[in-house]
Amino acid sequence: MAARTEQDVVRSELRWSIVVGLTVGAISLAILWAGLVRFINPPSNIETIDPNSVHLSAEFNEANLGTRVENGQVVTRVVATQFSFAPQCVVVPANRQVTLRFTSPDVIHGILVTGTNVNTMVVPGYVAQVHSVFRKTGDLLMPCHEYCGLGHSQMWATVRVVPEDDFKPDADGRALCEKP
Ligand code: CUA
């Protein structure tokens, strides 16, 4: 094998910098495309809430938790707390955009809904918001996926996806999970 000259090395380095440059460029474009064209963003809208008075707040008081239809928009509110969710079950209609809003009064929790794009951290002091459309009806598991203490493994709730025709909010626009 012929000995490599300084020039060979420089050329090789140049080739690799082009490869790396193109890779970084492609990834950057993919991120910009996802964020600006497809509106896929981290579920962390910077919206603050006083964690000490979550249950007294206008939005996350007990009477307002769960699913509610507001101006035609389905909004589901859940409080994640050591070591349960309030409410334990929420009902949502299939094939309609649902806005899910979460907050925590104590420590950091995480929420995901199995088989959907819903996956966010729930940080005390902030409201985490996720939009989703549930395609399949049935009960979905919503476990806490951020270690939050000794009861973490017992912390989960149910998202009940019902056919659109069976989704019947009351006069106040609230919809509750019926007993299975
Ligand atoms: Cu809450 Cu883990």
Residue 168 lies in a domain: yes
When pLDDT is averaged across residues 133-139 and rounded to a whole number, the result is 93
Who has greater pLDDT, 177 or 158?
158
Q: Is residue 46 part of a domain?
A: no
Q: How far is the CA of 83 from the centre of ligand 1 (A)?
A: 6
Binding site membership of 79 for ligand 1 (Cβ less than 6 Å): no
Is the pLDDT reported for residue 3 higher than 80?
Answer: no
Banded pLDDT at 25 (limits 50, 70, 90): very high
The answer, yes or no, to whether any atom of ligand 1 lies below 6 A from the CB of 109, is: yes
Separation between Cα atoms, residue 65 and residue 77, nearest integer Å: 5
Q: What is the mean pLDDT of the chain?
A: 90
Buried b (16+ CB within 10 A) or exposed e, 146-166: bebeeebeebbbbbbbbeeee
- CA–CA separation, 141 and 116 (whole Å): 10
Residue 43 has pLDDT above 90, yes or no: no
Q: Does 180 fall in a domain?
A: no
Tell me, in angstroms, the distance from the centre of ligand 1 to residue 68's CA.
25
Closest approach atom of ligand 1 to CA 145: 2
Which of ligand 1's atoms lies nearest the C-alpha of 80?
1
* Partners of residue 120 on adjacent β-strands: 111
Of residues 157 and 43, the one with the higher pLDDT is 157
Q: Please give the structure tokens belonging to residue 76.
A: 């589901």
Q: What is the CATH number of the domain that holds 59?
A: 2.60.40.420
